């Protein structure tokens, strides 16, 4: 139990540092086409142990969001997306519950525990939800619906690749 | 009563979710006021220190490129200086020096945090109130303009980038002297628009756009960019000009904070007129 939470804490710190020191600085795009944002820190919320109660997940999500916001100069934007992701996480987990349910002992929803296919679907849904809320809140109006959609799609592709790289390189057990 | 408490416990996660989202939205809306963000912006000591430490590490690997760019800048300034001295010798001796009272003072600073990808961008520089920086001063680069100081701490300042929805810079066409407002519509960090240029203005593609000096923030005549295209929005009486800005906002290192030494007297002159 304890080592599980220590690992999660380290992962949260590492992902936030990666996000604000490395991925924030990547500027990728060309003339009239900068729809790319690299967001990897949602993985920290997605990988919290499966049986974490919902209230702590919400608080952890909010904290992660606020810390990222400090660096992005955008108080509340990342935090609201994180809180939303933390809120829908139990529903995502329920939607793709493996046959026979989740094991009784607490473990992280990782590729190694539940298989590659399961993990790909889980992260894709979580990341897409996070990006959709993030860009909607950032623009703060639905006038630019088409631009928001483009940003979500292209950022999803690059962020998803980064997240998969992280997972396939480190392949954490929990 | 018991039912109510049970109901609250049962849906505690949902209520917490709503409460946290409300907190987030309050933060977002307050931030849009543009006034009270100091407590959470990146002038915040912790993130500024982390960024400074990281920049210190990265900067070392880029020393050669920086040295080159500074050398080029020096060469440009030197040539300007030499030309100037040549010219001065031709001037008549009777002209008193007091005619040329210094109007602008520049303070060198280094960018330690920057962004170009969000809708509202800001940057942090490593100079603050103890180096003489005050809220409202302009920031320029080797070429072009960067933004306006919005918050100051003893050793850091936060600069509202020109790539911010609240940024409005007074600019003018160098050739025909018509002026307008430079704003950013949020899509490409190299493209801005100049708005509110009257319909009868004489504009050509490729015209240089410079600061007008009307706001007393930037000196007059700093080059900002060139005219890309221009058009009149349907139903409007003004041109909108698409501007390619001359500097690359995504690659900033050394910048200069500009202090207008005559601003207090100009403000005291103009302020009462505004409220009349």
pLDDT one-digit tens code per residue, B207-242? 999 999 888 888 888 899 999 999 888 788 889 999
**Do you know the residue count of chain A?**
174
Tell me how close the Cα of B17 comes to any Cα of chain A, in angstroms.
6
Q: What's the first-to-final CA gap in chain A, in angstroms? A: 11
| pLDDT attached to residue A44 | 93
Cα gap B20→B94, rounded to integer Å: 71
Any domain includes B28? yes
Within a domain: B22:
yes
What pLDDT is attached to residue B93? 43
Is residue A59 a contact partner of residue A105, using CB atoms and an 8 Å limit?
A: no
Q: Is the pLDDT of residue A139 over 80?
A: no
B123 and B136 in contact (C-beta within 8 Å)?
no
**Is pLDDT of A30 > 60?**
yes
Long-range contact set of residues B97-104: C-beta below 8 Å, sequence gap at least 24: B102/B261, B103/B219, B103/B260, B103/B261, B103/B262, B104/B219, B104/B258, B104/B259, B104/B260, B104/B261
In a domain, B9, yes or no: yes
More reliable by pLDDT, A118 or B32: A118
For chain A, say whether B79 makes contact (Cβ under 8 Å): no
Distance CA B235, CA B247 (A): 33
On the question of pLDDT at B40 being above 60, the answer is no
DSSP B42: T
Q: Is B258 helix (H, G, I), strand (E, B) or coil?
A: strand
Determine the residue of chain A that is closest to B25 in CA distance: A76
Q: Chain A contacts of B50, Cβ < 8 Å?
A: 20-21
> Are the Cβ atoms of B31 and A76 closer than 8 angstroms?
yes
Test B20 with A62 for CB contact under 8 angstroms: yes
pLDDT band at A11 (very low <50, low <70, confident <90, very high): very high
The pair of three-digit structure tokens given for residue B66, joined into one six-digit string: 């920086």
Residue B149 has pLDDT above 50, yes or no: yes
Burial B61-76 (b: 16+ CB within 10 A, else e): eeeeeeeeeeeeeeee
Q: How many CB atoms lie within 10 A of CB B232?
A: 12
> A62 contacts in B (CB within 8 Å)?
20, 23-24
User: For the residues B72-100, what does the mean pLDDT come to?
Assistant: 55
What average pLDDT is seen over chain B? 81
Give domain limits for chain A. Answer: 2-95+103-170
Residue B12, in any domain of the structure: yes
Chain A residues whose CB is inside 8 A of the B25 CB are 76, 80
Paired sense of beta strands B208-211 and B191-198, if any: unpaired
Q: Find residue A172's DSSP bridge partners.
A: none
Domain count of the fold of chain B? 1
**Residue A131 pLDDT exceeds 50:** yes
Residues in Cβ contact with B168 at an 8 Å cutoff, skipping those fewer than 6 apart = B181, B182, B183
Q: What is the mean pLDDT of residues B73-89?
A: 58
Between chains, do B118 and A69 touch, taking CB under 8 Å as contact?
no
In chain A, which ranges are E strands? none
A34–B189: do the CB atoms touch at under 8 Å? yes
* Residue of chain B whose alpha carbon sits nearest to that of A54: B13
Q: Do the domain assignments include residue B20? A: yes
What pLDDT does residue A28 have? 72
Burial class (CB in 10 A: 0-12, 13-18, 19+), B56: exposed
* Mean pLDDT score, B39-64: 72
| A39-58 pLDDT, tens digit each | 999 999 999 998 888 899 99
Mean pLDDT of B63-89: 66
Within a domain: residue B17?
yes
Which chain A residues have a beta carbon less than 8 Å from that of B117?
A: 27, 34, 36-37
Q: Is B66 left (phi over 0), alpha (psi -120 to 50) or beta?
A: alpha
> How close B215 gets to chain A, by Cα (Å)?
26
Nearest to B118 among A21, A65, A138 (CB): A138
Give the closest residue to B14 by CA, choosing from A159, A87, A161: A87
Instruction: Tell me whether residues B122 and A73 touch, CB distance under 8 A.
Output: yes
Provide the residue range defining the domain that includes B17.
Answer: 2-32
Hey, which residues does B243 pair with through a beta bridge?
Answer: B192, B227
* CA atoms within 13 Å, Cβ hemisphere of B208: 11
Asked if residue B195 is part of any domain, the answer here is no
CB contact under 8 A, A32 and B12: no
Classify residue B116: in a domain, yes or no: no
CB A69 within 8 A of CB A77: yes
Nearest chain A CA: its distance from B152 CA (Å):
15
Of A31, A83, A139, the CB nearest to B24: A83
Show residues of chain B in contact with A139, CB under 8 Å: 119
Q: Is B211 on the interface with A (CB under 8 A)?
A: no
The answer, for B17 touching chain A at a CB cutoff of 8 Å, is yes
User: Could you tell me which chain B residue has the CA closest to the CA of A36?
Assistant: B117
What chain B residue is nearest to A24 in terms of C-alpha separation?
B115
In Å, how far from its chain's centre is CA B73? 21
Q: Does domain A2-95+103-170 have CATH number 1.10.1760?
A: yes
Confidence of residue A143 (pLDDT cuts 50, 70, 90): low
CB contact (8 A) between residue B13 and residue A55: yes
Check CB contact under 8 Å for A137 and B28.
Answer: yes
What pLDDT sits at residue A60?
A: 94
């Amino acid at each position: 139990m304890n080592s599980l939470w220590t690992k999660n804490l380290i992962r949260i710190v590492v992902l936030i540092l990666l996000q604000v020191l490395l991925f924030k600085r990547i500027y990728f795009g060309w003339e009239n086409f900068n729809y790319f944002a690299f967001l990897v820190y949602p993985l920290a919320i997605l990988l919290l142990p499966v049986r974490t109660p919902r209230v702590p997940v919400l608080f952890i999500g909010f904290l992660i969001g606020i810390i990222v916001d400090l660096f992005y100069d955008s108080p509340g934007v990342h935090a609201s997306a994180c809180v939303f992701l933390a809120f829908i996480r139990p529903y995502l987990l329920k939607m793709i519950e493996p046959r026979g349910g989740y094991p009784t002992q607490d473990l992280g929803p990782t590729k190694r525990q539940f298989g590659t296919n399961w993990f790909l679907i889980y992260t894709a849904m979580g990341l897409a939800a996070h990006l959709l809320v993030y860009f909607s809140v950032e623009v703060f109006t639905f006038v630019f619906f088409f631009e928001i959609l483009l940003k979500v799609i292209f950022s999803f592709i690059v962020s998803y690749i980064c997240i998969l790289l992280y997972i396939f390189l480190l392949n954490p057990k929990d | 009563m018991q039912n109510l408490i049970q109901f609250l416990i049962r849906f505690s996660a949902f209520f917490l979710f709503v409460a946290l989202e409300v907190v987030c939205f309050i933060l977002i809306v307050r931030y849009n006021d543009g006034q009270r963000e100091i407590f959470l912006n990146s002038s915040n000591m912790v993130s500024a220190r982390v960024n400074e430490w990281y920049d210190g590490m990265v900067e070392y690997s880029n020393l050669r490129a920086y040295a080159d760019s500074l050398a080029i800048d020096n060469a440009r300034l030197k040539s300007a200086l030499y030309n100037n001295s040549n010219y001065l010798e031709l001037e008549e001796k009777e002209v008193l020096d007091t005619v040329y009272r210094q109007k602008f003072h520049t303070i060198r600073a280094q960018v330690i945090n920057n962004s170009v990808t969000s809708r509202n961008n800001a940057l942090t520089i490593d100079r603050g109130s103890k180096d003489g920086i005050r809220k409202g001063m302009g920031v320029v680069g080797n070429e072009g303009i960067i933004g306006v100081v919005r918050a100051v701490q003893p050793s850091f300042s936060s600069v509202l980038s020109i790539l911010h929805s609240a940024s409005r810079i007074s600019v003018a066409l160098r050739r025909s002297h018509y002026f307008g407002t430079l704003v950013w519509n949020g899509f490409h960090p190299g493209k801005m628009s100049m708005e509110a240029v009257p319909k009868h203005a004489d504009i050509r593609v490729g015209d240089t756009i410079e600061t007008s000096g009307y706001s007393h923030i930037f000196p007059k005549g700093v080059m900002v960019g060139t005219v890309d295209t221009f058009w009149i929005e349907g139903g409007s009486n003004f041109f909108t000009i698409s501007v390619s800005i001359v500097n690359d906002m995504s690659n900033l290192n050394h910048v200069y904070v500009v202090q207008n030494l005559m601003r207090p007297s100009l403000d005291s002159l103009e302020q009462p007129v505004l409220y009349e």
